[in-house]
Structure 1
Amino acid sequence: MIVVAGEALIDLVPQGGAADDGGDLPVLAPRLGGGPFNTAVAVGRLGSPVAFCSRVSRDAFGEALLGGLTRAGVDVSYVQRGDEPTTLAVASIAADGSAGYSFYVEGTADRLFSVPDRLPPGTRAVSFGTCSLVLEPGASAYEELMRSASGQGVFTALDPNIRAGLIPDPDAYRARFKSWLPSTGLLKLSEEDAQWLGGTPQEWLASGPAAVVITRGGDGLTVFTRGGARYDVPGERVDLVDTIGAGDTVNAALLHGLATWDALSVEAVAGLAEDAWHRLLRFAARAAAVTCSRAGAEPPYASELPPL
Structure 2
Amino acid sequence: MSDTRAAQPIWVFGECLVDDFGDAKRLGGAPFNVACHLWALGETARFISRVGRDAPAAEIRGLLRRWPGAAAWLQEDAQLPTGRILVQRLGTGMHRFEILPHQAYDAIDADEELRVRALETSYLLYHGSLALREEGPSRATWRFLASRAWGRFVDINLRDGCWQRPWLAELLQGADTLKCNDEELGVLQREFGLGRGDAEAILPALAQRFGVAEIVLTCGPQGAMHWDGATLTRSHALSISVVDTVGAGDAFSAGWLYARRLGATVAKALQVAHGLAARVCALEGALPEDPQSFYPAFVAELGVAAKGAVRA
Decide: shared fold, TM above 0.5: yes
1:240-275 alpha-carbon deviations (Å, 9 max, x no partner):
0111001111111111122222xxxxxxxxxxxxx8
In 2, Cα distance between the equivalents of 1:231 and 1:34?
Answer: 28
- Aligned-pair identity (%): 26
Where 2:283 maps in the other structure, the secondary structure is: coil
How far is the alpha carbon of 1:276 from its aligned partner? 1.0
Name 2:257's counterpart in structure 1.
Answer: 255
Quote the residue 1:293 is aligned against: 282
Alignment partner, residue 198 of structure 2: none
Q: How many residues are aligned here?
A: 272
CA distance in 2, matches of 1:225, 1:237: 27
SS of equivalent residue, structure 1 residue 94 = strand
**Residues 109, 180 of structure 1: CA spacing in aligned structure 2 closer, same or farther, 3 A cutoff?**
closer
In the other structure, the counterpart of 1:276 is 265
- Note the 1:133-144 alignment, pairs <5 A: 133-144=132-143
Query: Counterpart of 2:123 in structure 1: which amino acid?
Result: R
Instruction: Work out which of the residue numbers 286, 289, 296 in structure 2 matches 1:303.
Output: 296
Q: Aligned partner of 2:49: which letter?
A: S
1:10 maps to 18
Q: Kindly state the Cα deviation for residue 61 of structure 1 after the two structures are TM-superposed.
A: 0.6
CA distance in 2 between counterparts of 1:96 and 1:113 reads: 35
Q: Secondary structure at the match of 2:23?
A: strand
Distance in 1 separating the partners of 2:224 and 2:65: 30
Counterparts of 1:27-46 in structure 2 under 5 Å?
A: 27-46=22-41
The runs of 5 or more residues in structure 1 that have no matched partner are: 14-26, 168-172, 262-274
Q: Does 1:47 align with 2:50?
A: no
1:79-158 equivalences in 2 (<5 Å): 79-83=74-78, 84-106=80-102, 108-115=103-110, 116-119=114-117, 123-150=122-149, 154-158=150-154
Cα separation, 1, equivalents of 2:260 and 2:249: 17
8 Å CA contact 2:152–2:176 kept in 1: the answer is yes
Which shifted more, 55-64 or 135-144?
135-144
Look up the equivalent residue of 1:219 and give its one-letter code: Q
Alpha-carbon offset, residue 146 of structure 1: 4.5
- Deviation track 1:72-96 (CA, whole Å, cap 9, x = no partner) reads 5662212221122112101122222
**CA, structure 1 residues 122+237, in 2 after alignment: closer, same or farther (shift >3 Å)?**
farther
Match of 1:270 in 2: none
Unmatched 5+ residue regions in structure 2? Answer: 1-8, 195-201, 305-312
Match of 1:220 in 2: 223
Kept in 1, the 8 Å contact 2:19–2:26? The answer is yes
Residue 44 of structure 1 contacts residue 74 of structure 1 at CA under 8 Å; is this kept in 2? Answer: no
In 1, distance between residues paired with 2:140 and 2:252? 25
Cα–Cα, structure 1 residues 97 and 205, in superposed 2: closer, same or farther, change >3 Å? Answer: same
Distance 1:69 1:145 in 2: 25
User: What corresponds to 2:178 in structure 1?
Assistant: 187
TM-score normalised to structure 2 length:
0.80
CA RMSD of aligned residues (A): 2.1
Deviates most, 116-125 or 39-48: 116-125
- One-letter identity of the residue aligned with 1:127: Y
Look up the equivalent residue of 1:181 and give its one-letter code.
Answer: L
Is 1:67 the counterpart of 2:62? The answer is yes
Moved more, 113-122 or 294-303: 113-122
Q: Distance in 1 between matches of 2:94 and 2:221?
A: 11
> How many angstroms apart in 1 are the aligned matches of 2:127 and 2:144?
9
- Separation (CA, whole Å) in 2 of partners of 1:37 and 1:113: 14
Closer/same/farther in 2, CA of residues 304 and 149 from structure 1, 3 Å limit:
farther
Instruction: Judge conservation of contact 1:242–1:292 (CA < 8 Å) in 2.
Output: yes
Contact 2:146 2:152 (8 Å CA) reproduced: no
Q: Give how far 1:114 is off.
A: 1.6
Q: 1:161 aligns with which of 150, 157, 160?
A: 157
CA contact (8 A) 2:259 2:269 kept: yes
| Gap change, CA 1:140 and 1:9, over 3 Å in 2 | same
